[in-house]
Amino acid sequence: MKVLVTGAGGLLGKAVTKYFQQSLEVVAFTRQGLNISDYVAVEKAVKDFSPTIIINCAAMARVDACETEWASAEAANIDGPKHLATQAKAIGASLMHISTDYVFDGKKTSPYTIEDQPNPISAYGRSKLLGEEAVIDATGQYFIVRVARLFGIGGNNFGSKIFDYLSAAKKSGNKLKVCNYPVSQATYLPDLVIRLGEIIEKNQSGIYQVTNSGEIVSWYEFTCLAIEMMGLEKDLLTIVDYTDLGLPALRPHYSALRCLLSEKLGLAALRDWQEGVKEIYQHFCEANN
């Protein structure tokens, strides 16, 4: 099996490339190597490598920037997936396209399934939903995988850096600001990439929704777990209401996901996200000893 990865310089793209390279032939393109909104470049890359599967990790994932930079969001999140889907179909390859919980409006109080109607409340969410639709329209064999709150060792985001942030707050005495809303489930990258491989093996077209299992929490509760592991006090934190942050884009208040297709295919729920936090803590301890 030959795998073509796009967006390989990003958080997920790096994890996907590293994982699939262990057992498969992989060609991985960062944005500099392949801009997926360039139709001619996509056509050439796909024809040259002739992959069995394309895993699209490329996206304009800067949620707030999408509000003001719609042309870039459209190019990366709609046109790009469409080009990949068209080229995948042309050579009989499958396309795995990564999407988001932000396609939903967050008004539910129980996990969203694919039977729930998407209703994005941000430009990012709209562009990602239109990207999903473009993939479904253009390709033959597709796996759309909605994920939420990615975190993993070495990632440059809140979930991945939590122990560094807490350690810095303890040293400086400056409290760490965290939001107690919105709530969602986190997705630990090492677990996610294994699940992506399993989905490819099952070879069943459709929309998947993959997060770890466990409590549905805000970044506040996520941080409290890390505080507990470090033996620190919660007074190191200041709770902020995310609506007071003045962020340009709205976020769904509640966006836990349930995957009906994985259940149907007999794929067991991923372990509790807290196990991922424990692994990040172990790594932090080893790196700081």
Which residues are near ligand NAP by CB under 6 A?
A: 6-7, 9-13, 31, 35-37, 57-61, 75-76, 80, 98, 100, 128, 147-150
| Residue 77 Cβ vs ligand NAP, minimum distance, rounded to whole Å | 7
Radius of gyration of the chain (CA): 19
Q: If DSSP codes are grouped into helix, strand and coil, which group holds residue 13?
A: helix
CB 257 within 8 A of CB 273: no
Residue 5, phi then psi, degrees to nearest 5: -110, 130
**Nearest to ligand NAP of 75, 249 (CB atom):** 75
Minimal distance in Å, beta carbon 12 to ligand NAP? Answer: 4
**Minimum distance from residue 138 beta carbon to ligand NAP (Å):** 17
CB of 56 to ligand NAP, least distance (A): 7
Tokens of 8: 């390989």
Cα–Cα distance for residue pair 143/121, rounded to 1 Å:
24
Question: By C-beta, is 59 or 183 nearer to ligand NAP?
Answer: 59
Name which of 243, 190, 192 is nearest 218 in CA terms.
243
Shortest CB 149 distance to ligand NAP, Å: 5
Q: How far is the CB of 156 from ligand NAP (least distance, A)?
A: 8
Q: What is the Cα–Cα distance from 194 to 174, expressed in whole angstroms? A: 38
d(CA 207, CA 128): 13
Q: How far is the CB of 235 from ligand NAP (least distance, A)?
A: 28
Q: Which of 218, 196, 164, 172 is nearest to 20 (CA)?
A: 196
Contact indicator for 94, 52 with CB cutoff of 8 Å: yes
Quick one: the chain helix, strand, coil %, rounded to 5?
45, 20, 35
Give 100 or 274: the residue with its C-beta nearer to ligand NAP: 100
Looking at beta carbons only, is 47 or 234 nearer to ligand NAP? 47
- Residue-level length of the chain: 289
Find the shortest distance in angstroms from Cβ 4 to ligand NAP. 12
Cβ proximity to ligand NAP: between 92 and 248 the closer is 248
Which amino acid is residue 85, in one-letter code?
A: A
By beta-carbon proximity to ligand NAP, the closer residue of 149 and 227 is: 149
With CB atoms as reference, the residue minimizing the distance to ligand NAP is: 10
Among 248, 278, 255, 235, smallest CA distance to 146 is for 255
13/252 with CB nearer ligand NAP: 13
Closest CB to ligand NAP among 75 and 267? Answer: 75
